[in-house]
């Protein structure tokens, strides 16, 4: 069946027919993606433009599905922005609150995983969509504006900490959650209640969207009433895996009204449930993508540094006062090192200069321009070895386009003891991406200098001393590290010093919270 005939056919389906055939439609689109991958760029672009044109004539749920395909396959921001605008403009009767919330998460997750999808207006559009959804859910619950529990009635020693997902201690956001709770309880002497709202990548009411991703959820945590971390015990509640559930939201709102915490801390942002509770007591949001403001309608935020010019329209869309964004260096907590590996045990060259590239989304984060840069280095230095750690399922494709680099490549996959692996490396090298902050902090802790572009979480965590302008300068910097032992030694010392700062949550987070506590006693900045 030709593409035009296929699209024409699915455009004639009513909604029930479309969902009945959804699996077949997805299969056809997956096959089309494989075919497009074999074509030249010009031909691929022409086919996607034809699909985009036909999508404009389709029912809105079909349009969203086809545009999501164009976005993910083209890897260009134009389709991202068109898709977001389509969701924003869609009538509530055609695309309801639950479906728009699912679309918000799917688009946001895709943009986070692949920086090429992010355009100049993408974050602003996401913020507009989030605010639209927040207002809709507030309306459904009858919440018309901030109406804080009076300060004299709030329990000054009680803090609710909310997050949209809790997984194991290999999960960086979960480690961030527990670390901040530890500071609140151990050093600030607060009673802490942790609530997993399970709002991460909501699948409830999801509409057609190409290659839907799902969030991790640990059902075994649902029955727990407490969790432990570094010798401290925290009261714990986990929502069922059916969020957003209005009845559950009402119960959480009632819990806030009854227990009256002095404030709540939202770890991660993009949590409408937490933001609704933040209409009853002051809310402080700590984003886990800390190089930009979090998607949150809470009154206060902690940010690693000052808001950038790109953050200002996002805050305006969210309805957040820029004066209520407080600066605090983002800090980390690591899983303790348990092993002392040798390079031989890991299959790493004994006398090589080892470049470490680490992440859980490397398939979408590593692009051809990054591989080409590494390939040029492999051509110039026989002793360089490029080691990938994490998830990079397409790593073997390197051998077809980058034969020189392929001979210098090692893929370690998932490693439980990252600190032990970093101890066998020489240099942390970062591709263009949004995340990765936790891994660079681990590398710095082991004395590995880093090389990163001036964007994203790795750049924010590593600091100015380890930034380069572009991949051309990155290539020169890597060669300098290989050739100049004195420079390497000085930068290694700076890496360890930076790591000390990145591990001091008591100072960075604790002091920032203490300052904010003075401002939020009555919910009004002073």
Do 351 and 328 share a structural domain? Answer: no
pLDDT, tens only, 186-219: 999 999 999 999 999 988 889 999 999 999 999 9
pLDDT, tens only, 99-144: 999 999 999 999 998 989 999 999 999 999 999 999 999 999 999 9
Residue 84 included in any domain: yes
Question: From CA 256, how far away is CA 245, in angstroms rounded?
Answer: 17
pLDDT, tens only, 17-41: 999 999 999 999 999 999 998 999 9
Do 295 and 185 share a structural domain? Answer: yes
What's the average model confidence in pLDDT over 387-409?
Answer: 94
Residue 477 included in any domain: yes
* Domain's final residue, options 84, 110, 140: 140
Residue 525 included in any domain: no
Residue 320 included in any domain: yes
Do 274 and 249 share a structural domain? Answer: yes
Residue 146 included in any domain: no
Question: From CA 34, how far away is CA 22, in angstroms rounded?
Answer: 19
**Contact 419/445 with Cβ under 8 angstroms?**
yes
Do 511 and 484 share a structural domain? Answer: no
Q: Which CATH number fits the domain that encloses residue 327?
A: 3.40.50.11190
What's the average model confidence in pLDDT over 45-56?
Answer: 91
Would you state the pLDDT for residue 83? 98
Residues 6+ apart with CB under 8 A from 496: 444, 445, 447
DSSP-assigned beta bridge partners for residue 410: 387
Would you state the pLDDT for residue 4? 77
Mutual orientation of helices 122-140 and 77-89 as an angle, nearest 10°? 20
Chain centroid to CA 499: how far? 21
The predicted model scores a pTM of 0.90
DSSP-assigned beta bridge partners for residue 413: 389
**Contact 422/449 with Cβ under 8 angstroms?**
no
Do 384 and 328 share a structural domain? Answer: no
Do 510 and 498 share a structural domain? Answer: no
- 112, 188, 48: which is closest to 364 by C-alpha? 112
pLDDT, tens only, 52-95: 998 888 899 999 999 999 999 999 999 999 999 999 999 999 99
pLDDT, tens only, 454-498: 999 999 999 999 999 999 999 999 999 999 999 999 999 999 999
pLDDT of 450 > 70? The answer is: yes
- 319-357 in b/e form (b: 16+ CB < 10 A) is ebeeebbbebbbbbbbeebeeebebeebebeeebbbbbb
Do 237 and 304 share a structural domain? Answer: yes
Residue 145 included in any domain: no
pLDDT of 524 > 80? The answer is: no
Question: From CA 157, how far away is CA 218, in angstroms rounded?
Answer: 30
> Residue 263's pLDDT band (boundaries 50, 70, 90)?
very high
Q: Which residue has the higher pLDDT, 525 or 495?
A: 495
The tokens 């946001």 sit on which residue? 108
Residue 394 included in any domain: yes
Question: From CA 318, how far away is CA 130, in angstroms rounded?
Answer: 8
**Contact 145/279 with Cβ under 8 angstroms?**
yes
Residue 526 included in any domain: no
Do 263 and 355 share a structural domain? Answer: no
> Residue 233's pLDDT band (boundaries 50, 70, 90)?
very high
Do 126 and 198 share a structural domain? Answer: no
- Prior bond of 244 cis (ω within 30°): yes
**C-alpha distance across the termini of the chain, in Å:** 66
Would you state the pLDDT for residue 181? 97
The total of other beta-carbon atoms located within 10 Å of residue 501's CB is 15
Do 357 and 224 share a structural domain? Answer: no
Number of domains in the chain: 3
pLDDT, tens only, 264-290: 999 999 999 999 999 999 999 999 888
Do 204 and 126 share a structural domain? Answer: no
Q: Which CATH number fits the domain that encloses residue 419?
A: 3.40.50.2000
* Mean pLDDT (the chain, rounded): 94
Question: From CA 307, how far away is CA 300, in angstroms rounded?
Answer: 13
pLDDT, tens only, 328-342: 999 998 888 999 999
Question: From CA 475, how far away is CA 473, in angstroms rounded?
Answer: 5
- 308, 345, 339: which is closest to 325 by C-alpha? 308
Residue 488 belongs to what domain range? 343-502
- What's the DSSP call for residue 452? B
pLDDT, tens only, 399-449: 988 999 999 999 999 999 999 999 999 999 999 998 888 999 999 999 999
Question: From CA 305, how far away is CA 293, in angstroms rounded?
Answer: 10
Would you state the pLDDT for residue 525? 37
Q: What percent of the chain has pLDDT over 70?
A: 99
What's the average model confidence in pLDDT over 499-511?
Answer: 94
* Domain's final residue, options 76, 108, 140: 140
* DSSP letter for each residue of 242-310: T-S-HHHHHHHHHHHHHH-EEEEEEEES--HHHHHHTTTS-EEEEESSTTS--S--SSEEEESSSPPTT
Do 105 and 121 share a structural domain? Answer: yes
Question: From CA 222, how far away is CA 240, in angstroms rounded?
Answer: 7
Would you state the pLDDT for residue 1? 56
What's the average model confidence in pLDDT over 162-171?
Answer: 89
Q: What percent of the chain has pLDDT over 90?
A: 85
User: Reading across the β-sheet that carries 232-238, which strands appear in turn?
Assistant: 226-229, 232-238, 191-196, 155-163, 261-268, 283-287, 300-303, 325-327
């Amino acid at each position: 069946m030709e593409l035009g005939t296929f699209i024409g056919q699915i455009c004639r389906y009513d909604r029930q027919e479309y969902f009945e055939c959804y699996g077949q439609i997805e299969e056809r689109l997956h096959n089309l993606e494989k075919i497009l991958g074999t074509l030249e760029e010009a031909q691929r672009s022409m086919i996607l433009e034809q699909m985009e044109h036909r999508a404009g004539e389709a029912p809105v749920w079909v349009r969203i599905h086809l545009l999501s395909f164009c976005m993910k396959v083209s890897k260009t921001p134009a389709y991202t922005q068109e898709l977001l605008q389509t969701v924003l403009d869609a009538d509530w009767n055609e695309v309801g609150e639950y479906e728009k919330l699912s679309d918000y998460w799917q688009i946001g997750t895709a943009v986070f995983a692949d920086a090429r999808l992010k355009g100049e207006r993408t974050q602003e559009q996401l913020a507009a969509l989030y605010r639209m959804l927040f207002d809709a859910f507030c309306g459904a619950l009858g919440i018309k504006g901030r109406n804080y529990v009076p300060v004299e009635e709030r329990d000054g020693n009680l803090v609710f900490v909310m997050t949209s997902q809790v997984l194991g201690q290999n999960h960086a956001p979960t480690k961030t959650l527990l670390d901040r709770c530890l500071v609140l309880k151990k050093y600030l002497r607060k009673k802490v209640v942790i609530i997993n709202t399970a709002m991460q990548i909501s699948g409830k009411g999801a509409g057609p969207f190409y290659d839907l991703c799902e969030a991790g959820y640990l059902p075994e945590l649902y029955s727990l009433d407490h969790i432990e971390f570094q010798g401290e015990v925290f009261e714990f509640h986990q929502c069922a895996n059916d969020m957003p559930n209005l009845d559950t939201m009402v119960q959480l709102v009632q819990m806030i009204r009854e227990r009256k915490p002095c404030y709540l801390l939202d770890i991660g942002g993009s949590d409408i449930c937490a933001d609704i509770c933040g209409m009853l007591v002051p809310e402080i949001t700590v984003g886990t993508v800390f190089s930009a403001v979090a998607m949150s309608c809470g009154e206060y935020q902690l940010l690693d540094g000052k808001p950038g010019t790109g953050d200002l329209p996002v805050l305006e869309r969210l309805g957040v006062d820029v004066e209520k964004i407080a600066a605090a260096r983002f800090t980390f907590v690591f899983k303790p090192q348990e092993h002392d590996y040798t390079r031989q045990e890991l299959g790493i060259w004994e006398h090589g200069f080892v470049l470490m590239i680490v992440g859980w989304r490397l398939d979408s984060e590593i692009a051809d321009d990054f591989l080409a840069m590494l390939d040029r280095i492999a051509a110039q230095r026989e002793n360089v070895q490029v080691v990938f750690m994490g998830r990079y399922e397409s790593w073997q494709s390197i051998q077809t386009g980058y034969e020189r680099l392929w001979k210098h490549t090692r893929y370690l996959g998932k490693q439980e003891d990252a600190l032990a692996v970093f101890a066998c490396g020489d240099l942390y090298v970062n591709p263009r991406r949004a995340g990765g902050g936790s891994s660079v902090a681990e590398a710095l802790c082991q004395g590995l200098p880093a090389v990163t572009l001036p964007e994203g979480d790795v750049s924010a965590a590593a600091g100015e001393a380890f930034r380069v302008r572009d991949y051309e300068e990155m290539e020169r910097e890597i060669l300098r590290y290989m050739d100049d032992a004195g420079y390497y030694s000085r930068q290694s010392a700076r890496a360890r010093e930076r790591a000390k700062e990145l591990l001091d949550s008591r100072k960075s987070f604790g002091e920032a919270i203490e300052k904010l506590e003075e401002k939020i006693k009555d919910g009004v900045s002073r």
